Structure 1
Amino acid sequence: MPTEPRLMTNEWQAFWLAVGFLTRIPMPVHINYSQKLMNQCSLYFPLVGLFLGTLYAGLFALLSLAWSPLVCVLLVLCFHLFITGAFHEDGLADSVDALGGGYTVEKRLEIMKDSRIGTYGTVALVMALGLKAALLLDAKSIWLALLVMPAISRITPLLLMSFMPYVTDPDKSKSKPVAEGFSRKRLLASCVFTVLVAAIFSLWLPGLWLAALTAVVSVALLWGWYLQRQLGGYTGDALGASVVFCELVLLMGM
């Protein structure tokens, strides 16, 4: 069994590996990369989301000193797309292109691997970003929505990874190492963390916990069911799309 210092070192590296996987933020520590460490890093997706949410909320508060809420929200969304490399939005566009334009599983997977964006993906991306901005402006507390939304939404792909098979080419996938061998115990730890986030911030916005539960469960079940029917499982792009869907449903609940 690993000693406690070794275990802490592994977890510290797993956290920063999750940061590097989900964002463009440079990792300040040396990572002893391995398949196992890549498996472990998914535990920290909601924590990385909370870190991003802190940046978004802080930036919004700073920008609010000079500009209107609309301008501030749009600038925060630009910052989000930059710092994450539009990681999840790219997954949304690819997923919608594939599921809208493919008539067989093989064709859908082929379209999903294509780096070009089509009509379906473009429309989905524009509508998702526009709806996200509109819902943020309608939120009772914009800064709180920006803070908790990234953390809560990133539990959804973990649920899909835990209960569904992976169906794309592992040699060409970025998410396969994360999904392979995903531990249910680590999923439970991520769920507990997400529940705590929702419960704590419900003190500022009563009902947040219900909106969070509804968003995570409904997207995981409905999107997971649709993916199972259309693909027989999930892909990395589909996981990214699940984050965007969960954010939108959560914002509608808030």
Structure 2
Amino acid sequence: MTGRLAEEGRLVLLAVQFLTRLPLPFAPGYTPERMGHAMRYFPLVGLAIGGGLAAVYALSALVFPPVVAALLAVAAGVRLTGALHEDGLADMADGLGGGATRERALEIMRDSRIGSYGAVTLGLVLALKVAALAGLGAAAAGALVGAHGLSRLSTLALSAALPYARAEGKAVFASVGLGPMGWPIALAGGAAALLVLMATAGIVAAVTALIAAVLVTLWLGRMMRRRLGGQTGDGLGAAQQLGETAILLELLAWA
């Protein structure tokens, strides 16, 4: 039992190491299989990330107007995560926008440079998130916690539903599976995020936000299957960003 708990603790640290730029006191021991199992903790780590950003928003709102507090919270998220998912969204937009064939799209997505499709898409998504948070006002802090936790389920759903589109790559671990008790742990994190949204915006708003995130995930998954033949790390990052944005916008619609 002690060994099992120690391993779960290392998996949590792997998830933190992957999703953030926080310095860890020791290396938790990366392997593709263990990283795949660590994905079960993505929603819980997302909750923690959202909590940090909620604190930034709440403290900033004491001094600045809501739009400035929202900008600072979004900027803090980009810094904390190293723009991991934002980079995936931009690469995905460039690949699907500029690649006429599957092979060309995947080639574009490997390019570290950002193109016009990626720049426009990323700018619009960041602007929508800032505008939604500013519009939510006092509810923005709770929305950040819930949206960051719940949107990480989108990446897990797509990694389980779609094969990996490349023969090899950095995100090949996403096809490994969550391991024993993986989905119950992941869904518990998602349920906790949904409860936060219910407490923040009400049951109806939270459920419709969940539905919006599901619809966005289904749409993106269908597009990745049709255009790429499966999922990639960039696609999973795009799913998180679009899911988070859909949740925030739906909450704003009910505010």
TM-score (norm 2): 0.92
- Pairing 1:203–2:175 present: no
> Is the 8 Å Cα contact of residues 67 and 133 (structure 2) preserved in structure 1?
no
> Is the 8 Å Cα contact of residues 57 and 69 (structure 2) preserved in structure 1?
yes
* Closer, same or farther: CA 32–183 of 1 in aligned 2, 3 Å: closer
- Pairing 1:244–2:237 present: no
The structure 2 residue matched to 1:82, chosen from 49, 70, 79, is 79
> Is the 8 Å Cα contact of residues 97 and 117 (structure 2) preserved in structure 1?
yes
For 1:116, give the aligned amino acid: R
Structure 2 residues not aligned, in runs of 5+: none
Alignment-derived partner of residue 175 in structure 2: 179
Alignment-derived partner of residue 219 in structure 2: 222
- Pairing 1:132–2:132 present: no
> Is the 8 Å Cα contact of residues 93 and 121 (structure 1) preserved in structure 2?
yes
The structure 2 residue matched to 1:144, chosen from 142, 145, 149, is 142
Deviation digits for residues 65-123 of structure 1, max 9, x if unmatched? Answer: 21111111111111111111111010010001000101111100000000011110011
Which has more helix, going by share of residues? 2
- How far apart, in 2, do the equivalents of 1:208 and 1:106 lie? 41
Question: Cα RMSD over matched residues?
Answer: 1.6
Shift, 1:30, TM fit: 4.1
Alignment-derived partner of residue 118 in structure 1: 115
The count of corresponding residues between Structure 1 and Structure 2 is 249
* Closer, same or farther: CA 11–208 of 1 in aligned 2, 3 Å: farther
Alignment-derived partner of residue 156 in structure 1: 154
* Closer, same or farther: CA 184–9 of 1 in aligned 2, 3 Å: closer
- How far apart, in 2, do the equivalents of 1:178 and 1:63 lie? 36
* Closer, same or farther: CA 199–32 of 1 in aligned 2, 3 Å: same
> Is the 8 Å Cα contact of residues 13 and 29 (structure 1) preserved in structure 2?
no
- How far apart, in 2, do the equivalents of 1:219 and 1:147 lie? 19
> Is the 8 Å Cα contact of residues 15 and 38 (structure 2) preserved in structure 1?
yes
Shift, 1:213, TM fit: 2.2
* Closer, same or farther: CA 30–91 of 1 in aligned 2, 3 Å: closer
For 1:28, give the aligned amino acid: P
Deviation digits for residues 139-160 of structure 1, max 9, x if unmatched? Answer: 2611111121110111001000
Deviation digits for residues 7-40 of structure 1, max 9, x if unmatched? Answer: 1111101001101101101123441333332121
Deviation digits for residues 146-201 of structure 1, max 9, x if unmatched? Answer: 1211101110010000111001242xx32212432344841343123312331354
TM-score (norm 1): 0.92
- How far apart, in 1, do the equivalents of 2:125 and 2:197 lie? 25
- Identity in percent: 37
Task: Answer with 11-20 or 176-185: which moved more.
Answer: 176-185
Task: Answer with 198-207 or 11-20: which moved more.
Answer: 198-207
Task: Answer with 177-186 or 150-159: which moved more.
Answer: 177-186
> Is the 8 Å Cα contact of residues 88 and 237 (structure 1) preserved in structure 2?
yes
* Closer, same or farther: CA 7–70 of 1 in aligned 2, 3 Å: same
- How far apart, in 2, do the equivalents of 1:51 and 1:224 lie? 26
The structure 1 residue matched to 2:189, chosen from 185, 188, 193, is 193
